[in-house]
């Protein structure tokens, strides 16, 4: 079958992809290629985020066999859209970002080289071509930026914990109780400034059950005793910003715990001004690196495991 017959056959056939249609973000590019006499698309994806459950055999993950797709999006999405998935993890699950890819059959090697050069100039550095034994020339246009983040291990235990619209890596969590978790702060007001939050995302204090509220207070007091000693404090500040007008920036109840010392602020109540502005855009504080936060969490974790 020559190139033109192959093109007519492919473009008139049913879309057998998982989605069953061309992604809106690359529709113009696909149409442009298919309208050219020298090219036609075989498959395409504008990029997607997927949550996939891996199948294990003798403790080894089999990435292609029996994997189950729990969520897929070809555009941006909100944390609320994956809430049910994250709350019901049963085995090894990963969040993956797969970049844009497109397979294009070309009339000749020269046509493929022109297309690949243009693609690489546009940032698609992983682009290349294959030539079959029958002379079929296919250009693969690929962006290079992929990502995979483990969400849970083989037992379904979370590698991260949800905190409002973001996720806290397990390396930054130093204590978990039945209903709460404690973690280090990305932009602490003072050294040793940590947070305690309920495991379930509750926006306001009034949304907590009696058990959750009790656990939050008990866990906070337990954490406070440790950080006061570890950071040579003489007192503690416990505070909850309950609602946006109170300074809450993450819609998830959380207790700020700060070790305090004499004259650590010009005026004692300045701590509340700092808390209100420390994580807001334009603030003077710089985000700490995951490595720095992980090291602090390791120290705190050992205090509770001693």
Q: Which residues are marked as active site?
A: 254
- CA torsion 256-257-262-267 (nearest 10°) is 10
Pairing of strands 101-106, 55-57: unpaired
Cα(52)–Cα(68) distance, rounded to whole angstroms? 6
What 8-state DSSP symbol labels residue 22?
Answer: -
- Helix/strand/coil (H/E/C) assignment for every residue in 106-155: ECCHHHHHHHHHHHHHCCCCCCEEEECCCCCEEEEEECCCCEEEEEECCC
Phi and psi dihedrals of 34, rounded to 5? -70, -25
3-class state of residue 256 by DSSP? strand
Q: Can you tell me the distance from the alpha carbon of 113 to that of 62, in angstroms, rounded to the nearest whole number? A: 35
| Cα–Cα dist 286/155, whole Å | 36
């Amino acid at each position: 079958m020559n190139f033109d017959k192959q093109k007519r056959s492919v473009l008139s056939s049913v879309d057998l992809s998982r989605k069953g249609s061309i992604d809106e973000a690359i529709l113009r590019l696909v149409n442009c290629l298919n309208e050219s006499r020298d090219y036609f698309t075989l498959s395409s994806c504008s990029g997607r985020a997927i949550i996939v459950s891996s199948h294990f055999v003798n403790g080894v993950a089999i990435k292609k066999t029996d994997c189950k797709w729990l969520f897929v999006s070809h555009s941006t999405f909100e944390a609320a859209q994956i809430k049910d998935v994250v709350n019901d993890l049963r085995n090894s699950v990963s969040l993956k970002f797969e970049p844009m890819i497109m397979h294009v059959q070309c009339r000749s090697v020269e046509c493929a080289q022109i297309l690949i050069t243009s693609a690489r100039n546009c940032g698609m550095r992983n682009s290349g071509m294959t030539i079959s034994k029958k002379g079929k020339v296919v250009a693969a246009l690929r962006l290079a930026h992929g990502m995979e983040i483990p969400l849970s291990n083989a037992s379904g235990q979370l590698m991260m914990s949800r905190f409002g619209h973001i996720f806290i890596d397990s390396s930054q969590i130093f204590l978990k109780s039945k209903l709460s978790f404690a973690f280090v702060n990305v932009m602490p007001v003072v050294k040793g400034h940590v947070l305690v939050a309920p495991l379930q995302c509750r926006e306001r204090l009034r949304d907590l059950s009696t058990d959750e509220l009790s656990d939050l207070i008990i866990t906070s007091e337990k954490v406070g005793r440790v950080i006061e000693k570890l950071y040579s404090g003489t007192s503690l500040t416990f505070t909850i910003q309950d609602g946006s007008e109170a300074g809450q920036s993450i819609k998830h109840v959380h207790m700020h715990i700060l070790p305090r010392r004499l004259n650590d602020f010009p005026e004692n109540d300045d701590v509340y001004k700092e808390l209100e502005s420390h994580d807001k855009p334009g603030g003077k504080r710089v985000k700490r690196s995951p490595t720095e936060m992980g090291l602090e969490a390791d120290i705190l974790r050992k205090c509770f495991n001693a």
